[in-house]
């Protein structure tokens, strides 16, 4: 089947200026032609996008589709099987909001990714970390002072390997287990965090030897590592060990920022995550550990400063939100925070398209609208370059297409017999 989107203003995701009156021809799941003097073929389905903007489907490099901040009684009474249905709803909401691909930074097992690939449920294309490795007492160790451990997939079997690990030898074996469980990336916590009960964002976690073991074992299978890293020492340990993306990155020192720019290490900032923790502090404080509210207050401003410093230094910044902390489907708010932090609207769009596709190792297939790539695209009512905020509104997303198939289409389609 051939579809032609005509008369669109094209933002192709590469960062070049928008191109008016563009025709995009889609054959099956891919873009076959794109250009401004291109005639649609006879019998193509024609979608007229006059006055509208077409851009790549957005990519969020850091979500937790199985994640939700909720009161403690709700969390401990949630069967794992029910979590699957909630995650399916989260996946749909994410796609409804124009995010056609995500990287899940811990929580989603490979069967869930496969369910989306096989068309059983609507959702973004996924790359997954399966779980996130933590040292004992680290950011991923949700053991409370009572001894109760909140991790709800404990004992759920080989699809969700247990995530607490210490020492280079254990780390090696655990990375192998997580890769066996289908991980595309190895995620670990190189520092404490805002939501964890027994550490601070500044604390470093895992020794350089343990991190080196992870990087080595991942690389042996052609994979890379992503580190939750907030404090300076943990960020530094990760970057110099060859970790490919630094998640959150709140207190990087100048030397590490320079090294990230030199190596091409990605920063995935997730500016919106502490904003949501502070909103929950108002609306449902009993869903948070008391220390989390204090920590979110402490990091929120420093986080913005780090973002601007990294931007100025030329660090590759890939879009990520940590949704699962915030509600799924509200991902695009991050774009607004990125623009407030010094990006142009075009830079923010590139961060959520081209750069994000590079960060999740899918740049050959998605991230920009170019001939040969998968047709993951959005038709937007309005100009996101003059108001980036419109991308937050589903009402402005008139067409959401994934692999040539419309997930949502409010535009009229006609058969163009032009002969
Ligand atoms: Zn996260």
Q: What is the pLDDT of residues 146-158, one digit of tens each?
A: 888 887 665 567 8
Amino acid 1: pLDDT: 86
Q: Give the pLDDT band of residue 131 (cuts 50, 70, 90).
A: very high
CA of 186 to the centre of ligand 1 (A): 13
DSSP string covering 96-122:
HTTEEEEEE-SS--HHHHHHHHTTSS-
301 contacts 337 by C-beta, under 8 angstroms: no
Q: Considering the entire predicted model, what is its pTM?
A: 0.96
Least confident of 121-130, 226-235, 272-281, 408-417: 408-417
Amino acid 5: pLDDT: 97
128: Cβ–Cβ under 8 A, 6 or more apart, which residues? 103, 104, 108, 109, 110, 112, 113, 182, 183, 184, 185
Phi, psi at residue 32, to the nearest 5°?
-100, -35
Amino acid 154: pLDDT: 59
Q: Is the pLDDT of residue 419 over 50?
A: no
CA of 117 to the centre of ligand 1 (A): 23
Amino acid 75: pLDDT: 85
CA of 371 to the centre of ligand 1 (A): 34
CA of 147 to the centre of ligand 1 (A): 23
Q: What is the mean pLDDT of residues 166-189?
A: 97
Output the CA torsion sign for 252, 327, 65, 56.
negative
CA of 51 to the centre of ligand 1 (A): 38
CA of 118 to the centre of ligand 1 (A): 26
């Amino acid at each position: 089947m051939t579809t032609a989107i005509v008369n669109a203003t094209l933002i192709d995701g590469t960062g070049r200026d928008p191109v008016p009156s563009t025709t995009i021809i889609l054959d099956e799941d891919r873009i076959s032609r794109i250009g401004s003097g291109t005639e649609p073929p006879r019998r193509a389905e024609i979608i007229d996008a006059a006055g509208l903007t077409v851009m790549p489907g957005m990519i969020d490099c850091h979500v937790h589709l199985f994640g939700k901040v909720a009161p403690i009684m709700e969390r401990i009474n949630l069967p794992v099987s029910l979590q699957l249905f909630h995650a399916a709803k989260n996946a749909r909401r994410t796609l409804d909001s124009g995010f056609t691909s995500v990287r899940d930074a811990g929580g989603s097992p490979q069967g869930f990714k496969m369910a989306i690939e096989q068309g059983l449920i609507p959702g973004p294309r996924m790359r997954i970390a399966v779980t996130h490795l933590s040292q004992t007492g680290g950011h991923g160790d949700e053991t409370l002072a009572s001894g109760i451990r909140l991790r709800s997939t404990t004992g759920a079997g080989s699809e969700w390997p247990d995530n607490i690990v210490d020492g280079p030898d254990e780390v090696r074996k655990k990375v192998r287990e997580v890769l066996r469980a289908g991980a595309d990336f190895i995620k670990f916590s190189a520092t404490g965090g805002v939501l964890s009960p027994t550490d601070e964002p500044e604390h470093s976690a895992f020794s350089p030897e343990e991190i080196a073991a992870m990087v080595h074992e991942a690389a042996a299978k052609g994979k890379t590592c992503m580190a939750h890293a907030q404090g300076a020492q943990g960020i530094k340990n990760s970057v110099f060990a060859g970790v490919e993306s630094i998640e959150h990155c709140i207190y990087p020192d100048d030397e590490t920022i320079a090294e990230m720019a030199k190596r091409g290490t990605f920063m995935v900032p997730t500016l919106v995550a502490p904003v949501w923790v502070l909103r929950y502090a108002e609306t449902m404080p009993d869903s948070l550990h008391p220390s989390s509210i204090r920590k979110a207050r402490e990091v929120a401003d420093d986080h913005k400063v780090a973002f601007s410093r990294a931007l100025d230094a030329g660090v590759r910044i890939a879009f990520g939100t940590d949704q699962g902390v915030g509600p799924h489907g509200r991902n695009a708010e991050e774009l607004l925070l990125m623009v407030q932090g010094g990006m142009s609207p075009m830079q923010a769009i590139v961060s959520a398209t081209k750069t994000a596709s590079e960060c999740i190792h899918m740049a050959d297939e998605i991230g920009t609208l170019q001939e040969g790539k998968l047709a993951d695209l959005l038709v937007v009512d309005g100009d996101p370059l003059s108001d980036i905020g419109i991308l937050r509104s589903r009402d402005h997303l008139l067409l959401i297409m994934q692999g040539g198939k419309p997930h949502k289409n409010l535009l009229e389609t006609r058969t163009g017999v032009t002969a």
